Amino acid sequence: MCSILGLYDPRPGADVMPLRPLALSLSARQRHRGPDWSGVYAEPRCLLVHERLAIVDPAGGAQPLRSGDGRLALAVNGEIYNHRELERASTAGYAFQTGSDCEVINALYLEHGPAGVAKLNGIYAFALWDAAEGRLVIARDPLGVCPLYWGHDADGRLWVASEMKALARHCADVSAFPPGHVYDSATGALTYFHERAWRDYDAVQGKTVSPQALREGFEQAVHRQLMTDVPYGVLLSGGLDSSLVAACAARFARQRIEDGDQSEAWWPRLHSFAIGLEGSPDLAAAEVAAKALGTVHHGFTYKFEEGLDALPEVIRHVETYDVTTIRASTPMYLLARRIKAMGVKMVLSGEGSDEIFGGYLYFHKAPNAREFHDECVRKLGALHQFDCARANKAMMAWGVEARVPFLDLEFLDLAMGMDAQAKMAGGGRIEKAVLREAFEGALPKEILWRQKEQFSDGVGYGWIDGLKARAEAYVSDAMFAQAALRFPVNPPQTKEAYWYRELFEREFPGEACARTVPGGKSIACSSPAAIAWDPAFANAADPSGRAVAGVHLAAV
């Protein structure tokens, strides 16, 4: 992954060239995402800046990517997993200039226009300039795995950037670019391109997916995402999701994916990484999983004070004041720094499984398959604001790319295309049982059937308990009583939330920045559906998985 920054002035006679130094300085605020090289494309109407993290074709593939005739300039943050198939199918006669997986976007644009983005299977955010037509196209992947923000300066020029910090003090109307959308300056239209029948429960009711098909579908997703020419690894918390990712990756690690498994991988040994406080549940479980899978495992510990010291930087990088996200992002941020120090540039992670299969503990309370499915769809739609933002930004704070195979678009269509009746938990059936059953024998039973443990809990219960205690000591009752006056947008509901909000405001002042964070607390059971399933959830003030009374530990 990388970072992009774009500037477009639609006014007649526009000249953005004098703004090149400003654009470079704003782009530098997100250079942690792309420390390997910087590239610039500039002409009077448009300016693109790219900070590169070289993963595929590290010797070439520098951006912005130019078409051979100079007509197109493309700045991309992301990976296109089906680029080989798209290149073979292309009939546009596009002459590829690099080995970059992202250059296929240029070919798709020439053949299909902005609508070609719907053919991509990958994680991406890009800005494409067509000099011949004076046309800017901006797009973001369907689930928003890659972050993207946009806004306007005081003169009405359009700015776009990978992270909000590049625009926050320059664009008063900064906001998140919506996932699954493409913007076309030729029409001014912002169009949703990822319509799926499975969003409606009626379209999947009665449909089944065999355990074998589910397993093979996920294995293929992991295989696609092992596309890399640099050292990589897997995040392994010892929970079900990360352990399944590691198990599948271990199957394919020895062969080089980019040449169709025809040669040995450049780095054939699979490394796995975990972090936690001393004695954390995740560290113990990760050791069990790693031993069974034969990975080269690295279990790191951190001290509570080290996490506490990192909080301001975590909030600056992850760009949120959401309680759950910050709790989980901090150990992930510390782990990313360790991974970077070992020379690893890409990791596979397990985000998305809980949203697809209803893995959060409150799903045990779902009354029927329709409501279960509808809540999964809602959770997927919000994922870019929570777990995807955490995994991407906490890792990219140190130039480590996180890939999420559960959110592979082909696998997503398969897994969401089944009747949620098969996914339901409760009554003695553990959450995500359908996934566990599909991978019977792939992991030790104590890992395969380990109950859901949120990452911020699994690193050690002392982490959350310590944060709450520090917030209680720092935020006085008088300060908290004025919370709604000080923070009128999404006023904090707890002292911990107040503390994080204060840190956020130092870096991202103004209501526009505040509105990019939904509500300020991602309490799983605060969704309207969950409260309808069990009204007791409405009074939950803590987003920890342990707080889901009557479910955690007792669920099975």
- List the structure tokens of 363: 């799903």
> Tokens 């120090």 appear where?
341
Q: For residue 451, what is the DSSP state? A: P
Q: Give dist(CA 358, CA 487) in Å, integer.
A: 33
Q: For residue 363, what is the DSSP state? A: G
Cα dihedral 25, 27, 29, 32 sign: negative
Q: What SS3 string covers 155-198? A: CCCEEEECCHHHCCCCCCCCEECCCCEEEECCCCEEEECCCCHH
* 299 marked as part of a ligand binding site: no
**268 prior amide bond cis, ω within 30:** no
Pairing assessment for the beta strands 2-8 and 46-52 based on DSSP bridges: antiparallel
* 101 marked as part of a ligand binding site: yes
Yes or no: say if 144 and 383 are a contact pair by the CB < 8 Å rule. yes
Catalytic residues: 2
- List the structure tokens of 253: 């690690």
3-state secondary structure of 554: coil
What are the CA-CA distances from residue 396 to residues 1, 18, 52, 127, 314 (Å)? 8, 30, 12, 20, 11
Question: Which has the closest alpha carbon to 507: 317, 326, 316?
Answer: 316
* 99 marked as part of a ligand binding site: no
* 531 marked as part of a ligand binding site: no
Question: Which has the closest alpha carbon to 202: 419, 402, 33, 380?
Answer: 419
What are the CA-CA distances from residue 26 to residues 4, 167, 406 (Å)? 10, 7, 33
Identity at 313, one-letter amino acid code: E
- List the structure tokens of 263: 């040669």
* 399 marked as part of a ligand binding site: no
Identity at 458, one-letter amino acid code: G
Which residue ranges are tagged as binding site?
A: 101, 235, 275, 349-350
Which residue ranges are tagged as binding site for L-glutamine?
A: 101
Which residue ranges are tagged as binding site for ATP?
A: 235, 275, 349-350
